[in-house]
Amino acid sequence: MIEQNDLINQIRAYKPDFDSAIVSRAYDYAKKMHDGQTRASGEPYYTHPVEVASILASMKMDTGTIVTAILHDTLEDTEATYEDLKKTFGVEVADLVNGVSKLTRIESQTVEGKQAENFRKLLLAMSEDIRVLLVKLADRLHNMRTMGGLAPEKQRRIALETLEIYAPLAERIGVHQIKEELEDLCFGILNPEARASLAKRLSFLRSEGTGVVDNIIGELQKLFKEAGISAEITGREKTRYSIWKKMQRKNVAFEQLSDVMAFRVVVGKVEECYNVLGILHSRYPSVPGRFKDYISTPKPNGYRSIHTTVMGPEQQRIEVQIRTRDMHNEADLGVAAHWAYKEGEEAPSLKDVRKYRWLRELLEILEQEQRPEDFWENTKLELFQEQVYVFSPKGDLIELPSGATPVDFAYAIHSDVGDKCVGAKINSRIAPLNTKLSNGDQVDIITAKTQTPSPTWERFVVTGKARSHIRKFIRNQQRNEYITLGKAMLQKIFRQEGYEFTDKAVGNVLKNYKAQESDDVYAGIGSGLIVARDVFRAIFPAHKTEIAKRPSSEMDHAAMLRPQAKGKDRPMPIKGLIPGMAMHFARCCHPLPGDRIVGIVTTGKGVTIHTIDCETLETFADTPERWLDVSWGEGPNTPEAHVGRLNLTFMNEQGALGSITTVIGINGGNITNLKITNRTVDFWDIIIDIYVNDTKHLSNIIAALRATPIVTSVERARGR
């Protein structure tokens, strides 16, 4: 437990002339406000904010940040008010405490919704002053250190949230010492066996390899001294969690890793960094593909260093990081280094450090998303990925997640560029929009004023910003289509019953459907959430309708198109269904004879047949009572035709579409629908629905299409 004098002495050690009176006032105020409150461990609650302040003091933070840490829970958990804090500690501290405070938790139907709302508030607060995030990270670090009194399930939930959001945030602002400790603490809760196993192996390696490390450091020091360079060399063991991630990513055993140890060379000037690099590469063979220069092209979080891997003095691969003393301090503290006390210097203006491109992009995602859960998903997508670095035609360096495509790049440049994107050149050559970018690629986006985002882009984009923009467009587009369809359906009923349709009539029943405007009702009808005739009855409750039988001319159009079985040949039966039960095949996965299938009981529709790997089944995971064990039955000699759906990309050449349809026809397929989903100067993406007998029949058609020179890719579709 840290006492008041301990904290003051800790700060005085790096800033002798700081204002100790305001720290003492904050300590006494927090102790008074939190009086009677205890933590899960039984300790007085005020000890927690003081420990958080101590963490920030160890990072040599300014007085305002430390006072904020001491007071950070007073607005949320005590009777303290913003005005009290403003009067006692000043506007700066009051605003910071207000930013850190979680405020009032909103009511939400899901845990994700609550998490998303709390994170949204943190995001808005830290966009005004990044120190809000520094206090929040220190707060989360101390909570992770002291979770012993919580239930195991709650520990796992907090650890998972920390690993998905707070550790990546710490990395984004460059505070690696907090990031690494958070990851290790989470690792111990989420996978204690793996962490313990790695700890034992590292301990053994440490005891066995002490002499080797000392020999390498000694030889490197001798090498640099002969060149007249004064360098501080240390050996650094990589963290357990980073080793575990690498083992998982590369699917290798611990013994196969050759870079568990990294050596750090710290010099005085930037020029000496490159001198050290030249000496290393002239003395030892470098390992291809293992060189990164973050000095000439720093990471977005400000990290600067040169990384290289060589076959070192002991004839083993060693990773070497080369940097100056200032770079080394910033590598540990990141943005916190801007507020760390330095002799004779004042803390910089907030304007110098408060804004980051990634932070602006997260705020833009916040503006695009309607549901908290979508924002939460896209935020994690934006934060929690390895990076790839590509260049714009002007030479600007753009950081993107691994697996990013030209569409992700276009949205990273500007949302308007993404929306109007029609094609891309990668290294001066036309390429499909779903091409995965590699480090060093130069990307040039081709745009058109009339272009709009394609719904198919959502299948391959990997950035949260791109996905949120595409989803917003799809939502708006779908709503407009639903409004048009719903209005037409209602107009038809009005005509059938002899009434003149008006929007005013619908406006009279908005309260019945909790709608703000008539378009909300039309959209509900078009999407199937509201029955059109129910709306008509609500408008004319006294009207009695005689429902006539539907004339044969209004037969189901799909039934007319479907090839009919002849004679005694009937559709292939499904085993496991009650005789006479209504059944239809899911349009999300288009099951074919030969696929493993499952039946889902659907209200008002009987049973829907899905393939066993259909993504839609995840939505029924919590209702196992609706699942039916079904299989394909014994079919007749001439089975019923089923729809197989293909995603196909081909070169835009004269007669290309005719060649594709010919290949399908020759192989016994019958095209029932074709939709162009994306069209560029050189490539077309289409969806084709084909009547086939079974999976084998569809596989034969896919094989024939893949053998066609103009076809670049063809896959069985699993979506609507």
523-563 pLDDT, tens digit each: 888 777 888 888 888 888 766 554 333 333 333 433 333 44
pLDDT of residue 28: 92
Question: Taking residues 183-209, what's their average pLDDT?
Answer: 82
- Collapse the DSSP code of 434 into the 3-class scheme (helix H, G, I; strand E, B; otherwise coil) and give the result: coil
Residue 124 has pLDDT above 70, yes or no: no
- Collapse the DSSP code of 685 into the 3-class scheme (helix H, G, I; strand E, B; otherwise coil) and give the result: strand
In this predicted structure, which of 233-237, 250-254, 295-299 has the lowest mean pLDDT? 250-254
Stated as kind and residue range, the H or E segment containing 524 is helix 518-527
What whole-number distance in Å separates Cα of residue 391 and Cα of residue 441?
6
Q: Pairing between strand 443-447 and 429-431?
A: unpaired
DSSP 3-state percent helix, strand, coil across the chain (nearest 5): 50, 15, 35
pLDDT of residue 629: 79
pLDDT of residue 561: 37
pLDDT grade, residue 638 (50/70/90)? very low
Concerning whether 77 is annotated as a catalytic residue, the answer is yes
Alpha helices in 528-618 (DSSP H): 532-539, 557-561
pLDDT of residue 249: 67
Stated as kind and residue range, the H or E segment containing 699 is helix 695-706
Every domain of the chain and the residues it spans: 4-192, 193-337, 473-548, 642-716
In the chain, % of residues over pLDDT 70: 78
Concerning whether 76 is annotated as a catalytic residue, the answer is yes
pLDDT of residue 300: 66
Number of other residues whose CB lies within 10 A of the CB of residue 607: 20
Residue 21 has pLDDT above 60, yes or no: yes
What whole-number distance in Å separates Cα of residue 428 and Cα of residue 341?
48
Catalytic residue among 77, 164, 314, 373: 77
Question: Taking residues 147-173, what's their average pLDDT?
Answer: 83
Higher-confidence residue of 200 and 581: namely 200
Give the tens place of pLDDT for each residue, 692-719.
888 888 888 888 888 788 888 898 886 5
Number of other residues whose CB lies within 10 A of the CB of residue 386: 9
Give the tens place of pLDDT for each residue, 50-87.
999 999 998 888 888 899 999 988 888 888 888 989 89
Q: By C-alpha distance, which of 572, 698, 693, 581 is closest to 632? A: 572
pLDDT of residue 639: 45
Catalytic residue among 76, 184, 237, 332: 76
Give the tens place of pLDDT for each residue, 22-46.
999 999 999 999 888 888 778 888 8
Query: Length of the chain, please?
Result: 720
Domain 4-192, second-level architecture: Orthogonal Bundle (1.10)
In the chain, % of residues over pLDDT 90: 10
pLDDT of residue 683: 87
Residue 123 has pLDDT above 60, yes or no: no
User: Could you give the count of Cα atoms lying within 13 Å of 562 in the half-sphere of its Cβ?
Assistant: 16
Query: Hey, what are 629's tokens?
Result: 């064990």
Q: Pairing between strand 232-237 and 642-651?
A: unpaired
What whole-number distance in Å separates Cα of residue 47 and Cα of residue 31?
8
Give the tens place of pLDDT for each residue, 422-470.
888 988 888 888 898 887 788 999 988 888 888 788 888 888 788 888 8
Domain 193-337: what homologous superfamily? Beta Polymerase, domain 2 (3.30.460.10)
- Collapse the DSSP code of 344 into the 3-class scheme (helix H, G, I; strand E, B; otherwise coil) and give the result: coil
Number of other residues whose CB lies within 10 A of the CB of residue 189: 19
pLDDT of residue 381: 45
Buried b / exposed e along 344-376 (16+ C-beta atoms within 10 A): eeebeeeeebbebebbebbebbbebbeebbbbb
pLDDT of residue 555: 36
pLDDT of residue 578: 66
- Collapse the DSSP code of 391 into the 3-class scheme (helix H, G, I; strand E, B; otherwise coil) and give the result: strand
Q: Environment class of residue 553 by beta-carbon count within 10 Å: exposed (0-12), middle (13-18) or buried (19+)?
A: exposed
pLDDT of residue 181: 92
Number of other residues whose CB lies within 10 A of the CB of residue 151: 10
Q: Pairing between strand 421-426 and 397-401?
A: unpaired
Q: Which CATH number fits domain 642-716: 3.30.70.260, 2.30.30.230, 3.30.365.10, 3.40.50.1820?
A: 3.30.70.260
Query: Hey, what are 29's tokens?
Result: 């105020």
pLDDT of residue 379: 52
In the numeric block, the tokens 């002969």 are attached to: 226
* Average predicted confidence (pLDDT) for the chain: 78
List Cα–Cα distances, 662 to 170, 665, 705, in angstroms. 57, 5, 10
Higher-confidence residue of 213 and 181: namely 181
Higher-confidence residue of 374 and 647: namely 647
Alpha helices in 307-429 (DSSP H): 325-333, 357-368, 372-383, 406-413, 415-419
Residue 565 has pLDDT above 50, yes or no: no
Q: By C-alpha distance, which of 459, 354, 352 is closest to 403? A: 459
In this predicted structure, which of 177-186, 204-213, 585-594 has the lowest mean pLDDT? 204-213
User: Using a CB cutoff of 8 Å and minimum separation of 24, what contacts does 615-622 make?
Assistant: 615/588, 615/589, 615/718, 616/586, 616/588, 616/589
pLDDT of residue 377: 52
CB contact at 8 A, 223 and 281: no
